[in-house]
């Protein structure tokens, strides 16, 4: 279980687009502001300098700057390179010609749970506020569900282009781009692929100005070239605990409370967070050790949660199914040996091999409870009184 979908950088997506002949702006990826200046001089103004970071809302957070002279471009690059945007350091920028837009469109392919299929989505209202459009003007969004036996065909793409108001060669150009986008989605196992915005130029051509590709990480065995990207380090929005959890294969999400939570099964852990909040507490994290966790996994989980300085108490909620309570108990003792319990721990342990698990804990002088509600109340109480 991994927390982050494999996101491709904008420049990586554009390299793929070039391979499939989807038009992109001319530009260059670089770490040097001097080069940004030179490229701008060569491309002609205006240009746009874009931080290559994997954060959402990059434009609104100041990661995209426009320049009307080579010097301005150089300054923009200087401002971006080495700076932090949403906690992520900018190491590279993409400098590109700024395309004059007559219109900004949105094209995307993703999956639809209810229909169990891929869906092609397009809108004549592309740009930064596409999510807003989906909510406030759903009629401006065109959708075609894709039958997996026949795939996304040219006539589907024609239908969409017509609905966006295009005809003639423009209809054909737009449809061709959409078909290629679908081909990329299939070839790369993309769970989401978007061109946003797809610019309609003043001359009536289409250019992919920005793109987002999320690769299905369950399919990475078919794409070994991206495999080493799985453990992102400083270039993500993840906390130290989140990175550590990814290395161990644990599902961890940092939250901002003071009650550390460990459980088995995503649904149960979420319900545990809910119970803690119901009784007035604030969870410090979500941590799912998964099914059939070994004592070693359990020890690592405790280690990660205890390394968060905000945590005042840890609540372990285990309902053994394929996970065995004796393994969990051993893991708890192992963690105690390795790092010690500087903080109080509330344990609820029931299910497969619970007698053995409880015996191990009792012998070590560790207290446990029967019900999730009871344990949640106890954890909240400890967090409030500071132990």
Partner 1 sequence: MGVFVGKHTRAIVQGITGGQGSFHTRLMLHYGTQIVAGTSPMKGGTQVHGVPVYDTVEEAASKHRANASIIFVPAPFAADAAFEAVEAGLKTIVIITEHIPVKDAIQVMARAKQAQVTVIGPNTPGIIAPNECKLGIMPAHVFKRGCVGVASRSGTLTYEIATGLSVSGLGQSTCIGLGGDQIVGLSFVDVLKEFERDKQTKAVALIGEIGGNLEELAAEYIAKEGYTKPVAAFIAGRTAPPGKRMGHAGAIIMGRTGTADSKIEAFKKAGVDVAEKPRDVARLLAERLKKKSISTRCKSEK
Instruction: Answer for the pair 47, 252: CB distance below 8 angstroms, yes or no.
Output: no
Three-state secondary-structure class, residue 1: coil
In the complex, least distance from residue 224 CB atom to partner 1, rounded to whole angstroms: 13
371 contacts partner 1 (rule: CB under 8 A): yes
E strands along the chain, which residues? 6-7, 27-30, 47-51, 64-67, 84-85, 88-89, 93-97, 101-112, 117-123, 141-146, 190-201, 206-208, 211-215, 251-254, 259-263, 285-288, 313-320, 345-351
Site pattern 59..98 for partner 1 (x: CB under 8 A): ----------------------------------------
User: Of residues 15, 34, 68, 218, which one binds partner 1 by CB under 8 A?
Assistant: 218
Binding string to partner 1 for residues 182 to 201, with x set by CB under 8 A, is what? ----x--x-x----------
**Does 244 participate in catalysis according to the annotation?**
no
Residue 252 contacts residue 242 (beta carbons within 8 Å): yes
Which of 143, 105, 109 minimizes the C-alpha distance to 127?
105
Q: Closer to partner 1 by CB, 18 or 147: give it.
A: 147
The answer to whether the beta carbons of residues 50 and 40 sit under 8 Å apart is: no
Q: Within positions 105 to 124, which residues make up the interface with partner 1, using CB under 8 A?
A: 111, 113-114, 116-118
Specify the residue, 100 or 137, whose C-beta has the smaller distance to partner 1: 137
Subset of 257-296 contacting partner 1 (CB under 8 A): 263-271, 273-275, 277-278, 283, 286, 288, 291
Q: Are 3 and 253 in contact (CB under 8 A)?
A: yes
Q: Near partner 1 by CB under 8 A, which window of 20-28, 40-48, 171-179, 371-379?
A: 371-379
Query: Helix axis angle, 168-187 relative to 154-163, nearest 10°?
Result: 130
Binding interface with partner 1 (CB under 8 A):
1, 3-4, 56, 111, 113-114, 116-118, 131, 134-135, 147-149, 186, 189, 191, 216, 218-219, 221-222, 251, 253, 255, 263-271, 273-275, 277-278, 283, 286, 288, 291, 319-323, 351-352, 371-373
């Amino acid at each position: 279980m991994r927390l982050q979908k494999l996101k491709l950088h904008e420049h990586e997506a554009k390299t793929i687009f070039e391979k499939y002949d989807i038009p992109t702006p001319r530009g260059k990826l670089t770490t040097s502001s001097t080069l940004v200046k030179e490229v701008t001089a060569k491309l002609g103004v205006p240009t746009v300098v874009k931080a290559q970071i994997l954060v959402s809302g990059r434009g609104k957070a100041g990661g995209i700057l426009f320049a009307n002279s080579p010097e301005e471009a150089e300054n923009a690059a200087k401002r971006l390179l080495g700076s932090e945007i949403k906690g992520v350091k900018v190491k590279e920028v993409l400098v590109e010609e700024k395309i004059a837009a007559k219109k900004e469109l949105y094209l995307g392919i993703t999956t639809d749970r209810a229909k169990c299929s891929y869906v092609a989505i397009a809108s004549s209202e592309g740009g930064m506020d596409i999510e807003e459009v989906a909510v406030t003007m759903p009629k401006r969004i065109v959708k075609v569900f894709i039958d997996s036996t026949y795939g996304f065909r040219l006539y589907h793409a024609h239908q969409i282009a017509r609905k966006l108001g295009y005809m003639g060669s423009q209809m054909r150009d737009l449809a061709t781009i959409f078909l290629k986008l679908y081909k990329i989605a299939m070839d790369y196992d993309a769970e989401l692929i978007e061109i946003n915005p797809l610019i309609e130029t003043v001359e009536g051509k289409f250019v992919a100005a920005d793109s987002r590709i999320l690769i299905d990480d369950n399919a990475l065995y078919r794409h070994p070239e991206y495999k080493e990207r799985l453990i992102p380090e400083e270039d993500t929005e993840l906390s130290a605990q989140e990175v550590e959890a990814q290395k161990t294969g644990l599902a961890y999400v940092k939250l901002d409370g003071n009650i550390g939570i460990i459980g088995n099964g995503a649904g149960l852990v979420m319900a545990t967070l809910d119970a803690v909040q119901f009784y007035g507490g604030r969870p410090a994290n979500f941590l799912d050790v998964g099914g059939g966790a070994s004592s070693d996994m359990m020890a690592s989980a405790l280690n990660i949660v205890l390394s968060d300085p905000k945590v005042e108490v840890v609540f372990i909620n285990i309902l053994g199914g394929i996970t065995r309570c004796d393994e969990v108990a051993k893991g708890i003792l192992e963690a105690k040996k390795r790092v010690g319990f500087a903080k109080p721990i509330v344990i609820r342990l029931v299910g497969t091999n619970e007698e053995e698990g409880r015996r191990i804990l009792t012998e070590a002088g560790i207290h446990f409870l029967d019900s999730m509600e009871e344990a949640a109340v106890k954890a909240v109480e400890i967090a409030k009184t500071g132990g």
